[in-house]
Amino acid sequence: MSAKELYQQYVTAMRKIADIKYSIALLGWDQECYQPKKGAEFRAQQIGTLSGMAHDLFVDDKLGEILSQLKSSNDLSELQKRNVEETFKDYTREKKYPTSFVEKIAQVTSQTYQAWLKAREQNDFKVYSPMLETMIDMKREEAEILGYENHPYNALLDLYEPGAKTDELDVLFKEVRSNLVDFVKEIAAKPQVRTDFLKRNYPYQPQWDFGIDMLKQMGYDFDAGRQDVSPHPFTTNFSMQDVRVTTRVNENDFSTMLWSCIHEGGHALYEQGLLVENYGLPLGEAVSLGIHESQSRLWENLVGRGFGYWKGNFRNLKTVFPEQLKDVSDNEFYKGINKVQPSFIRVEADELTYHFHIMVRFEIEKGLMDKSIQVKDLSEIWNARYKEYLNVDVPSANKGVLQDIHWSHGSIGYFPTYSLGSFYAVQFFNQATKEIAGLNEQIEKGELLQLREWLREKIHVHGRRFTARELCERITGEPLNFKYFMQYARKKYEGIYGM
């Protein structure tokens, strides 16, 4: 059989598996947006069954034989070879999982998510902790199945940020502590900016409509997606041509909806920018969650929280909410949305103290994996870390350990990618301003499509062709460098706070 025929067999097999996986994703989207409460039990069963089917197809010996033959072939293009190499790596890892484990963890994930929802309704961590303990036991088991060097957390971290290591993150967060902590203290010594206007009453529908307009301005394709409401905003996709976002709306806090829309829109643009011909293949997938997060944080912080963005959009916002903003200037609005102040909720944190939230989760996850931290002690440990790092007293479980959906999904190792993404975002945007003539002026006019196309060309279309490190070096000429974030932070916030 020719390499061409063999490669086509590989593509057909991968797309069949993708069909099942995206069907699972569709069930998950419905579970978080529309599923009635009584549907939870069978939904967990359905997701478990389909997960087992996808796993069995992927670890089938026949696919392994095809991959082995293709790996030794000299008749593939460079991109075809890359697809095969990445799939073989995934195959080797997935082959380690017993089907029984895959089916069980899929069911446990659905059950843990339902327990999380119920615990949030009752504002009681104890309602959640038994299922969370089961989930953590399974993640420890997963780390052993996968194997690791030095720390079990490395096995799970690699699922989200391939190649990243726990000890490297320790060094990165040490830089965060040594640079950001003192800078935030300097800011705290200055008079605080005004934010009262953000907490006025903003009716639901005009908020929703404004968020839709912001997504359209970014270039989000509503013919290939939609927005809905969920308890925790997220982005999901079932192909490059069906990428969906969710948001949440608080009529007494305008910023909740605004940042959810722009943040998730950034994620969605990445998924919509992947090449359709790579559906089901590694080159049709994001390279890492750190790079994925760089796209959402770039749009949210570098664009959406920038003064230029509001030089154009604030006039439109005042037209929608004339009473709420009648005594507010564009400069006051800009300063208000960039207020730096320690808080309880990660997704509502400013872009500086945000990384303290991530440090708390990173340290807890490491402890959960090496058993130095137990689930039963999470509330106490969480609250103590928040007091230490952010100097706040956590008032309730919902504003503390219950605020994130991630652990209910079993997403241990995910949180560090948020900080990595923020740091990548600054480095990428810094390069974009050098390569796109008049970018800042374009942003002021609400003309964002050239930036979207730059990101698409530099990042989106490549999928997993390059590693995160290689991609960063191709775009900026060097690996991830924290200094760019600190330079950006100092310039921006010294201006806002008159330092």
* pLDDT (tens digit per residue) in 396-411: 999 999 999 999 999 9
Q: Residue 344 — pLDDT band, cuts 50, 70, 90?
A: very high
Does any domain span residue 468? Answer: yes
Compute the distance between CA of residue 340 and CA of residue 254 in angstroms, rounded to an integer: 17
Of residues 178 and 141, more confidence is placed in: 141
Residues 273, 373, single domain; the answer is yes
Which of 147, 176, 205 terminates a domain? The answer is 147
Look at residue 335 and tell me if it is in a domain.
yes
Other CB atoms within 10 A of residue 212 CB: 15
Position 271 pLDDT exceeds 90:
yes
pLDDT band at residue 314 under the 50/70/90 scheme:
very high
Q: Which of 93, 115, 147 is the last residue of a domain?
A: 147
- 441 and 324 in one domain? yes
Question: Does residue 159 form part of some domain?
Answer: no
- Give percent above pLDDT 90 in the chain: 90
Q: Are 480 and 420 in contact (CB under 8 A)?
A: yes
Identify whether 154 is part of a domain: no
Average pLDDT over residues 186-212: 96
Examine residue 398 and state whether it is found in any structural domain, yes or no. Answer: yes
Q: Which residue has the tokens 């960039």?
A: 338
Q: What is the mean pLDDT of the chain?
A: 95
Residue 248 covered by a domain: yes
108 and 174 fall within a common domain: no
In a domain, 161, yes or no: no
- Specify whether 265 is located in the same domain as 301: yes
- Which range of residues forms the domain containing residue 204? 166-496
Q: What is the pLDDT of residue 270?
A: 98
Both 200 and 122 in one domain: the answer is: no
Confidence of residue 48 (pLDDT cuts 50, 70, 90): confident
359 and 465 fall within a common domain: yes
Mean pLDDT of 249-278: 96
- Of residues 195, 183, 196, the one with CA closest to residue 499: 183
Three-class HEC string of the chain: CCHHHHHHHHHHHHHHHHHHHHHHHHHHHHHHHCCCHHHHHHHHHHHHHHHHHHHHHHCCHHHHHHHHHHHCCCCCCHHHHHHHHHHHHHHHHHCCCCHHHHHHHHHHHHHHHHHHHHHHHHCCHHHCHHHHHHHHHHHHHHHHHHCCCCCCHHHHHHHHCCCCCHHHHHHHHHHHHHHHHHHHHHHHCCCCCCCHHHHCCCCHHHHHHHHHHHHHHHCCCHHHCCEEECCCCCEEEEECCEEEEEECCECCEHHHHHHHHHHHHHHHHHHHHCCHHHCCCHHHCCCCHHHHHHHHHHHHHHHCCCHHHHHHHHHHHHHHCCCCCCCCCHHHHHHHHCCCCCCCCHHHCCCCCHHHHHHHHHHHHHHHHHCCCCHHHHHHHHHHHHHHHHCCCCCCCCCCCCCCCHHHHCCCCCCHHHHHHHHHHHHHHHHHHHHCCCHHHHHHCCCCHHHHHHHHHHCHHHCCCCCHHHHHHHHHCCCCCCHHHHHHHHHHHHHHCCC
What are the pLDDT digits (tens) for 23-37?
999 999 998 889 998
How confident is the model over 69-85, as pLDDT tens digits? 999 999 999 999 999 99
Shared-domain flag, residues 228 and 335: yes
**How many Å apart are CA 101 and CA 133, to the nearest integer?**
16
- pTM beyond 0.85, yes or no: yes
Residue 422 pLDDT level (bands cut at 50, 70, 90): very high
Residues 177, 138 within the same domain: no
Identify which of 133, 132, 128, 125 has the alpha carbon closest to the alpha carbon of residue 398. 125
Chain center to CA of 415: 8
In the listed set 147, 181, 201, which residue is the last one of a domain according to the structure? 147
In a shared domain, residues 181 and 282: yes
The confidence band for 235, taking pLDDT boundaries of 50, 70 and 90, is: very high
Asked if residue 295 is part of any domain, the answer here is: yes
Beta bridge partners of 244: 236
CATH code at 225? 1.10.1370.30
**One domain, residues 132 and 206:** no
Q: Which of 173, 147, 171 is nearest to 159 (CA)?
A: 147
Residue 41 pLDDT greater than 90, yes or no: no
Letter string b/e over residues 253-275, b meaning 16 or more CB atoms within 10 A of that residue's CB:
bbbbbbbbbbbbbbbbbbbbbbe
The amino acid that residue 24 corresponds to is I
What is the count of structural domains for the chain? 2
Query: Do 176 and 288 fall within a single domain?
Result: yes
Quick one: CA dihedral 87, 143, 147, 176, positive or negative?
positive
At 358, the pLDDT band (50, 70, 90 cuts) reads very high
Residue 273 and residue 420 in one domain: yes
What positions carry a catalytic annotation? 264
